[in-house]
Structure 1
């Protein structure tokens, strides 16, 4: 175990927080899985726990191998990755997967493995790396909006357009995070304002098409997220009221100290108790104290991202940490806000805690890239320290040589004039 820890590079605090969040996830996921087992009659609680363990084990393997890769390699990988994720998104949009009788057109089935994979999360990660690469490349150049349209905004809007029909919340999250990263990367504000206007106009055009062709498969999810927003704004009843009410009951039942591990009642009524609404189960079982601990860990992770972004020696490294790290924290806050009805239902999971392979793996990919950046900075700092040590050692040798030379000269002078001591007397 000690030798394994010694091989870990990068920010040790980030490693510790990620491991702690993963460790904390076991009891809530195990407890919430009873809903699937005893209410729906699917699988066993031990089976879900082992499955979650497998997802986390693979996730940490992903972190370990990615953090060993020099982060500048991700520049080229993002260029090749954008066309790949666009092809995957097109395939996912039209392949029409049905899981458990429900439309799951945001998922793709991996052949010969039997695992479903949400391609939008992969597209999110690749797109943020691509945007960071572009901003770092043009940081010292003058360019117009027209210059950036083809290389920057066409890939961004291509990804967003392909995700929007099936997942509005993820589309909004990606667009907001891209705008945040571009703002931090000193993209001209007047150009950013034009692009945001184009994005709003595109969304309105999409809604018009959805109203004109309501029976088209591409617009099957529009009514769902439209009703969610309408209910949230106008306080109108929808099908999501059931989930929100049960989540609020769970939070109210938890009190300060909670009901205790495994003693949640509302897990038997919440359909997404182990994923989208796991925060409500955590509050019910561990109370405000447990919820505060979870929030503290995410905020601590956020501060470590900020500190490491400031330490990064290259603009690409800074933007990578911000572009991949901040969405993790923002997604966690969105998940918690939905559980307490501060936001409409979005379907965003709680990173590293909710069950689900795709969410865990893509979060681990982002963490691995961030650790790769911090590892490089750590290596640079160690090299500088080692260089200073060598310089100090060399200076000590030089000083010692000078002292020896001075001593030898004094001895030679005394040997050349043996009567000098007698004359001095």
Structure 2
């Protein structure tokens, strides 16, 4: 019963310490760290391709004696830093294609290729979503988003041609989404058991810790499908409270961004807040079979040391922006 909570508590303690430290540091230091962090992310995303497979994917770097490291989590952080850095320095030129589109497309394209090789479709979609929102908030011309949509279609077509392994991978996910009961013991198993868990929770749930579906029925109940267990144990009421928490975080993030001392602080806050909320929306959509299964975790809930520590560190940066906004006000 404590197999997951013990290491998670350790990661939470480290993450809270990182959050406190980040909240006391002037967030402008991340101007200097943006490009180095992106470089580290690229190196790690290349390195992970040489790691052993787990569930048909190469997403984790094994650290002997320490556990595993998920480079995609660091890549999300790096994208937010670099995009915020570029936009804050060039916000008056963001309408131009050479400034408001090209550098971001190059960064996202390079990271997308590396993540699709894992393959990590959900992480790729999330990074594209974060990047697009930061570009929109930063002032990129709206007409360029239409071109980006066309470029995205072309990129998908290119990926299908040059990465043929993605075709059966994506096709299986799509078919199991459209009719999970067509293969209840295969690709549809996870979705079906998730829906059983959600339905059996009723209004108030079975009680904390009383889930039945987590015992060898729902695969990865501590990770990607933890929200279905939340629904089973806490019911409709508890699930709504969890969603409300993410909504409150979004509203608070928007409030801090609007009061931020400068463009860089506002963009960092938007990026980190959007990352959490968008990832939560995608996770909840997956476990309720609203969208195809993409293998994405629920922020702050799912088991995973890298994710938890990075998320808490990012919240520390948001707190730093908030603290400096208050100091300037008074």
Scaled by the length of structure 1, the TM-score of the pair is: 0.72
- Per the alignment, residue 196 of structure 2 pairs with 249
Offset at residue 149 of structure 1 (A): 5.7
Offset at residue 51 of structure 1 (A): 1.3
- Per the alignment, residue 223 of structure 1 pairs with 168
Alpha carbons 1:96, 1:103 under 8 Å: kept = no
Q: What do the CA deviations read for 1:140-160 (whole angstroms, capped 9, x no partner)?
A: 237632345664322221111
Q: Which of the pair has more CA radius of gyration?
A: 1
Question: Which secondary structure does the structure 1 equivalent of 2:221 belong to?
Answer: coil
- Per the alignment, residue 97 of structure 1 pairs with 52
| 1:196 equivalent in alignment to 2:143 | no
Aligned positions of 1:281-360 closer than 5 A: 281-360=229-308
Question: Which secondary structure does the structure 1 equivalent of 2:91 belong to?
Answer: coil
| 1:140 equivalent in alignment to 2:96 | no
Offset at residue 256 of structure 1 (A): 0.7
Aligned positions of 1:18-167 closer than 5 A: 45-93=1-49, 95-99=50-54, 102-110=55-63, 112-141=64-93, 144-147=96-99, 151-165=103-117, 166-167=119-120
Paired residue total: 326
Question: Which secondary structure does the structure 2 equivalent of 1:349 belong to?
Answer: coil
Alpha carbons 2:95, 2:139 under 8 Å: kept = no
- Per the alignment, residue 380 of structure 1 pairs with 328
The CA distance in 2 between the partners of 1:150 and 1:257, in whole Å, is 50
Q: Which of 176, 179, 190 is the equivalent residue of 2:129? A: 176
Offset at residue 117 of structure 1 (A): 0.7
| 1:259 equivalent in alignment to 2:206 | yes
Question: Which secondary structure does the structure 2 equivalent of 1:347 belong to?
Answer: coil
The CA distance in 1 between the partners of 2:207 and 2:288, in whole Å, is 20
Q: Runs of 5+ in structure 1 lacking a partner? A: 1-44, 212-218, 385-425
Question: Which secondary structure does the structure 1 equivalent of 2:247 belong to?
Answer: helix
Change (3 A) 1:202 1:73: same
Q: Runs of 5+ in structure 2 lacking a partner? A: none
Q: What do the CA deviations read for 1:285-318 (whole angstroms, capped 9, x no partner)?
A: 1111111111111111111011111111211111
Offset at residue 105 of structure 1 (A): 1.0
Alpha carbons 2:27, 2:320 under 8 Å: kept = yes
Scaled by the length of structure 2, the TM-score of the pair is: 0.92
Offset at residue 98 of structure 1 (A): 3.5
Offset at residue 194 of structure 1 (A): 2.3
Offset at residue 197 of structure 1 (A): 2.1
Question: Which secondary structure does the structure 2 equivalent of 1:140 belong to?
Answer: helix
Alpha carbons 1:240, 1:345 under 8 Å: kept = no
The CA distance in 2 between the partners of 1:291 and 1:147, in whole Å, is 42
The CA distance in 2 between the partners of 1:289 and 1:142, in whole Å, is 44
Question: Which secondary structure does the structure 2 equivalent of 1:139 belong to?
Answer: helix
- Per the alignment, residue 36 of structure 1 pairs with none
Alpha carbons 2:93, 2:100 under 8 Å: kept = no
Alpha carbons 1:82, 1:155 under 8 Å: kept = no
Change (3 A) 1:71 1:249: same
Alpha carbons 2:181, 2:192 under 8 Å: kept = no
- Per the alignment, residue 187 of structure 1 pairs with 140
Offset at residue 226 of structure 1 (A): 3.0
The CA distance in 1 between the partners of 2:94 and 2:308, in whole Å, is 39
The CA distance in 1 between the partners of 2:35 and 2:247, in whole Å, is 32
